[in-house]
Amino acid sequence: MGEAIEAYKVDLGKYHKILLTELKSDEKQQLFSENVLQEHKNRIIRAKSEGNIENIIEVLLSLRVNALQISPELRRNLVTELIRNDIFLIAQNQSCKFLIDLI
């Protein structure tokens, strides 16, 4: 009976770790919600139009930090969302001029 209880404790510990990992992944997935991406897009457009390099750097660093917080297997989804939201106006302008100007 004692061995069975110990085995259950080990299994529960494993499940607990899995659930914690999944919860953290869900929280990190939510870092880039539609609203957050739209806000970043608006801030970077505004900063570029004002010529405010510090704000451009701030937005790009924020994107980078949030991207690094996402688990590696979800980063492809992040790139897909960045493309879908056209954060660098590539589809809208049908060119990379906006992005090249930022660089």
Q: What local confidence, expressed as pLDDT, does residue 27 receive?
A: 47
**Token pair belonging to 16:** 């607990």
Q: What local confidence, expressed as pLDDT, does residue 28 receive?
A: 47
* Residue 70 dihedral angles phi and psi, to the nearest 5°: -80, 140
pTM of the full predicted structure?
Answer: 0.62
Taking the chain (103 residues) in runs of 10, the rounded mean pLDDT of each run is: 75 66 52 79 92 89 83 82 87 86 81
User: What whole-number distance in Å separates Cα of residue 101 and Cα of residue 45?
Assistant: 11
35-54 core/surface letters (b: 16 or more CB in 10 A; e: else): ebbeebbebbbebbeeeeee
Domain ranges of the chain: 2-102
CA-derived radius of gyration, the chain: 20
Q: Are 62 and 40 in contact (CB under 8 A)?
A: yes
Q: What local confidence, expressed as pLDDT, does residue 42 receive?
A: 93
